[in-house]
Amino acid sequence: MFKVEDIRKDFPILSRKVNGKPLVYFDNAATSQTPQQVIDVIVDYYSNYNANIHRGVHTLSQEATDLYEQARQKIQRHFNAKFSHEIILTSGTTHGINLVANGFSSLLKKGDEIIVSALEHHSNIVPWQMLCERTGASLKVIPMTQEGELEMAIYDTLLSKNTKLVFVNHISNALGTINPIETIIDKAHKVGAAVLIDGAQSCAHLKPDVQKLNVDFYVASAHKMCGPTGVGVLYGKEEWLKKLPPYQGGGEMIAEVTFEKTTYADLPHKFEAGTPNICGGIAFGAAIDYMNSIGFDAIASYENELLAYGTKQLLTIDGLKIYGTSEHKTSVISFNLDSIHPYDVGSILDKLGIAVRTGHHCAQPIMDYYKIPGTVRASFSFYNTKAEIDSLVEGVKKAKMMLS
């Protein structure tokens, strides 16, 4: 039974005050808060297991290795990967994208094409531009509509035998749109292109099944789903991960080293050079356990309720415009008040203890499309309440009054 009052007790930060007011945390799309269950795992790790993993013969090292590899298996089960060695632990979504982009440097040539979407985060644009510069491949963009959806008919026209890669986010961070990735993946595969899905935003709201999606690469970050920062996951199909060259050289990723030649370790270690974020990886596993204990169906249904309520209440404010009005979206509301700068609205809300994000949300092409400097973005999580949304609405009204 989903009870938000009980869930909130798991998150110590939710009881703190900001600027003398109870914290209302609506910046979940940037980073989610951490439940005590995950904090305990972090404390327990440094109190009882801290050691460097893999190849240590002493007990601490073996225990830490076991915990780390168990976390990898939890992540595997969560995303339903076929093998645990298809799970590469990274420092986060951006790292995963760069790892794949770098790997494709040696597989692409002039004339090849890469497709991205107009809804991407900068971290899913810039690595591909750099890849194009290195290889001579060119970048095509699936445009967006006023509602913040992808123009799927144009996607069809962009696909050709030259298309080698398609990169789209599962959910837009700036607008909350859920993209039709099943169709995008199927169509890309028909022309022989590989697909990477950026799951940074989706992993907090739904449980992707990478086998069912038949996706080639899927990336996500722990800190968007109640885990710590600095750790994330790259899922890659075994055949692709075998094909891609290593990203970084170092310890952990080698089988044998001489000055003449180095042979690389098997998956997943081939892509995990150096000492990893061991504690982070273990805590990532704990975060996945935590979210599954609440259940993604319950999370989605409650968050949809918050989205509907928030949308309705915010729209009662005169002059408030919501950007991203797709019927398929998660609990993100991006908005502006008349011509008031989002920075000003965000500054007043902060004084009231309300944390929202303002600016271009690292998605400047979307802001250029709407011809605005940015938006105020409130993103709700399963531990937020309707009463908090009421505080936001009051806060926005106050900001409007002060700034108009």
Partner 1 sequence: MTIEDIQNEIIEEFSMFEDWEERYQYMIDLGKDLPLIDDQYKTESNIIKGCQSKVWVHAEMKDDRVVFTADSDAIITKGIIAILIRAFSNQHPKDIIDADTSFIDKIGLKEHLSPTRANGLVSMIKQLKMYAIAYQTQLK
Sign, Cα dihedral of 239, 112, 233, 290: negative
- Among the listed ranges 5-13, 28-36, 289-297, 341-349, the one in contact with partner 1 (CB under 8 A) is 341-349
Q: Which helix (H) or strand (E) holds 369?
A: helix 364-370
Number of shown-chain residues binding partner 1 (CB under 8 A):
17
Smaller CB separation from partner 1, 344 or 390 = 344
Out of 342, 353, 365, 395, name the contact with partner 1 by CB under 8 A. 342
**Binding of partner 1 by 338 (CB under 8 A):** no
In the complex, what is the shortest distance from the CB of residue 332 to partner 1, in angstroms, rounded to a whole number?
18
Residue 21 φ then ψ, to 5°: -115, 150
Question: Is residue 220 left, alpha or beta, with left meaning phi > 0 and alpha meaning psi from -120 to 50?
Answer: beta
User: Toward partner 1, which CB reaches closer, 19 or 50?
Assistant: 19
Interatomic CA distance for residues 76 and 87, integer angstroms: 6
Q: Does 122 bind partner 1 (CB under 8 A)?
A: no
Window 365-384: residues binding partner 1 (CB under 8 A) = 373-374
Site membership for partner 1, residue 402 (CB under 8 A): yes
Measure Cα distances from 134 to 101, 105, 121, 167, 231 in Å: 10, 7, 21, 18, 27
**63 is a site residue for partner 1 (CB under 8 A):** no
Tell me the β-bridge partners of 169: 198
**Cβ 346 to partner 1 shortest distance, Å:** 8
Q: Tell the smallest beta-carbon distance from residue 351 to partner 1 (Å).
A: 5
Nearest residue (CB) to partner 1, 243 versus 360: 360
Which of 230, 266, 265, 211 is CA-nearest to residue 89?
230
Nearest C-alpha neighbor of 36 from the set 70, 3, 62, 10: 10
For residues 54 and 42, give the distance between their C-alpha atoms in angstroms, rounded to a whole number: 19
- Is residue 230 close enough to count as binding partner 1 by CB under 8 A? no
Query: 25: burial class by Cβ within 10 Å (0-12, 13-18, 19+)?
Result: buried
Which residues from 4-23 bind partner 1, rule CB under 8 A?
19
Give catalytic residues, as residue numbers: 362
Question: Nearer Cβ to partner 1, position 342 or 365?
Answer: 342
Burial of residue 224 (CB within 10 Å: 0-12, 13-18, 19+) is: buried
Of the ranges 97-105, 136-144, 223-231, 358-366, which one interacts with partner 1 (CB under 8 A)? 358-366
Of 344, 355, 390, 397, the one binding partner 1 (CB under 8 A) is 344
Q: Which of 22, 56, 143, 359 binds partner 1 (CB under 8 A)?
A: 359
Q: In angstroms, what is the minimal distance from the CB of 253 to partner 1?
A: 34
**Contacts with partner 1, residue ranges (CB under 8 A):** 19, 340-344, 347-348, 350-351, 358-360, 373-374, 402-403
